[in-house]
Homo-oligomer: A and B are copies of this chain.
């Protein structure tokens, strides 16, 4: 397998964590987003959105969209599970993951922020936009797991929820978001920091890190 990604892309990072948790080897192919390498025609043939990540399988098939890739990994390599067996618990974890992957990260990603700059917004206003989107998402996430015992988002092992949370908290700090209102999310992040699969997936450990 090849994972097409970028060291600082949240969505690529999610898939790196999932691959590491499943102990699956993959060649990491870097596409430098700020240089526009994801718009190269060869890459667009794999991923028509021109976004990362893409997982290319050995039979030539490609899967795009981080959550679809992770669910595919979880269905084809079942240990350790990234979603539990009970449908309602699966739904609650997917819901948490989608607050981040649908309503938070896409509203503050590189592409949207670049568009805001093109429309004439000053850097300060662009940063405030990102912080707004992130606070909206993290606020909901904090409430969704407030009554979960932890230490991870849902129970005593990492799930799809933690996989989405960790890169989003990294983004939050980049945009100066005050995280003190999110103690339960920070507790989950701390739990992930002791897990090698999470450690090895961090941006600064990738071969394309700058």
Query: A95 with B63: in contact, given A48-B143, A107-B112, A125-B119 (CB under 8 Å)?
Result: yes
Please pick, from B57, B92, B102, B137, the residue contacting A101 in the complex, using a CB distance under 8 A: B102
Q: Is the CB of B91 within 8 A of A68?
A: yes
Q: How many chain copies?
A: 2
Q: How many residues of A contact B (CB 8 A)?
A: 42
Q: Is the CB of B49 within 8 A of A140?
A: yes
Q: Is the CB of A71 within 8 A of B94?
A: yes
Q: Is the CB of A71 within 8 A of B49?
A: no
Chain B: minimal CB distance from A155 (Å): 17
A97-139 vs B, CB cutoff 8 Å, 1 = contact: the mask equals: 0110111001100001001000101000100010010001101
Q: Enumerate chain B residues within 8 angstroms of A119, measured Cβ to Cβ.
A: 121, 125, 129
